[in-house]
Structure 1
Amino acid sequence: MIADPALLAGYGGLGLVVGFVAGLLGVGGGLIIVPVLIFLLHAQGLAAGLEPQLALGTSLASILFTSLSSVRAHHRHGAVVWPLLRRIAPGIVLGTLAGAVLAAQMPATLLKLFFVAFLFYAAIQMWLDFKPAPHRGLPGPAAMTLAGGVIGAVSSWVGIGGGTLSVPFMLWHNVPLHRAIATSAAIGFPIAIAGAAGYVLGGWGASGLPAGSLGFVYLPALFGIVLGSVLTAPLGARTAHRLPVRPLKRVFALLLMVLALRMAWTF
């Protein structure tokens, strides 16, 4: 385990930002964690050529800790649709695990390209405040498993809890917004478990990883991110009640655009 205070402070600072933004806008932190962690690892000369895998695995592992408090809060308000979660969970787990194991073998450039494309998609979705109109009820078991597999696989390639995909999916299938958001938070937990496990297994024994790595999960960064985010998430949530959310989402969308362009510039 790396004990350099400067490095831990940097990861903790990333966690502070991620926690505040997550509490403020109700979005997961993976879209910030992954690109910033890639930049930090590259600047430190760590895991050359494996930075995307290490950043993705660490991001998904952090969701294991950060999603629990969110799920408990939504559950207390009776907003989580647990039957829906049970129906989609098998596909989520299989898709995420398979996606993470596959990503561990993919070229770093291909992963970065996919992530940049997804950042642009997420930024446009947030800027437009896109919410699909409900058209139908929830599909049958096979379609739910397929949908879960796609959400899980994509989430494993971009290091998120799936909300950017699962919320629109549920809204499209006539799930009310507050229940879709709450259930998406619950969906993030099996994504985090399967994704972290996949990146640990996929990176087990890989050469060139920095000290303190568990497969493709970098424990010093994980510790700093989780500690920082736990401290600032409540502050972000309180601030959200005092400020207009729509302009803040547009500011965050611009930040995602900048991160996407910065990553694209490094290809």
Structure 2
Amino acid sequence: MLEIFAVYLAVGAVAGVLAGLFGIGGGLVIVPMLVVCFTWQGVDGAIMMQLALGTSMASIMFTAVSSFMAHHRRGAVAWDVVRRICLGILAGTYAGTFVAAVLPTRVLKVVFVVFLVFVCWQMLSGKRPKPTRQMPGLAGTSLAGVVIGAVSSLVGIGGGTLSVPFMVWHNIPLHRAIGTSAAIGFPIAVAGTLGYVVHGWGVPALPEWCLGFVSLPALLGIVLASVCTAPLGVRLAHALPVDRLKKIFAVLLLMVGLRMLWGVVA
């Protein structure tokens, strides 16, 4: 058990850096690593992915706060965007947990991989928005929030892999988009965690110390480390050049996608 908890701490440390660096909540790393940990523990394969997704969502509540507060102190959070998108985020995320709760683990893994490959291609394509493009109004931003929230709950992330490109495409500077995405990650995590707790409540195959589809030992280890390392990621985000940051982000997504794809076909 101590060895597994040490792995949870390591996952949390990496997730915290990524949360601050990319505004993604760290779920891109947390989910596949939790799948590995749960496999070691002998968790039932039928619920393994749901447990990883729910635990990832719960951990993002803590990493998002640590990350967006650090970005806020640097003036890098567009709170007007957060207010407009929040309602759609909450609705889409909670609705997505209904779908994730009934999908087979293998299907959820395929959804995760396809999503990562798509985002990686988007970041590496080099497409730039028209200089006159601006963020949509309340209705358009709320609709985008529904989509971002629903996808985030299906793949257990804080939404940054969608919200950052969405904001950059509407001419919000990358560093400000990352900070705003970190703030958006908190309502995503709250709604997603609630959904996974509700839909996993009373499932007989769950291991000990679970609250629905949330593993409390994994959550504790990830949170203890991630809240300490998120400010480091923020400092890196504001120190690295924008183009280099985009390339690092895209390569990270591709590596995680390939790792998950191997898990599906193996």
Once the two structures are superposed, the pairs formed by residues 11-30 of structure 1 within 5 Å of their partners are: 11-30=8-27
How far has the Cα of 1:23 moved from its partner?
Answer: 4.1
The Cα offsets for residues 183-218 of structure 1, whole Å up to 9 and x where unpaired, read as 211111100100111111111111201111111111
TM-score (norm 1): 0.87
Structure-1 residue corresponding to 2:133? 136
1:197 to 187, 194, 197: 194
1:166 has 2:147 as partner: no
Q: CA separation in 1, counterparts of 2:241 and 2:255?
A: 22
TM-score (norm 2): 0.87
Equivalent pair of 2:237/2:245 in contact (CA under 8 Å): no
How far has the Cα of 1:49 moved from its partner?
Answer: 1.3
Unmatched 5+ stretches in structure 2: none
Once the two structures are superposed, the pairs formed by residues 1-267 of structure 1 within 5 Å of their partners are: 4-127=1-124, 132-238=129-235, 250=247, 253-267=250-264
Equivalent pair of 1:87/1:141 in contact (CA under 8 Å): yes
Which segment is superposed worse, 117-126 or 10-19? Answer: 117-126
Unmatched 5+ stretches in structure 1: none
How far has the Cα of 1:226 moved from its partner?
Answer: 1.1
How far has the Cα of 1:116 moved from its partner?
Answer: 0.8
Equivalent pair of 2:25/2:185 in contact (CA under 8 Å): no
Identity across matched positions, percent = 58
The alpha-carbon distance between structure 1 residues 102 and 240, as it changes in their structure 2 partners (threshold 3 A), is closer
The Cα offsets for residues 218-257 of structure 1, whole Å up to 9 and x where unpaired, read as 1111111111222333444556677777567646644543
Equivalent pair of 1:133/1:171 in contact (CA under 8 Å): no
Q: CA separation in 2, counterparts of 1:243 and 1:177?
A: 11
How far has the Cα of 1:24 moved from its partner?
Answer: 4.7
How far has the Cα of 1:103 moved from its partner?
Answer: 0.7
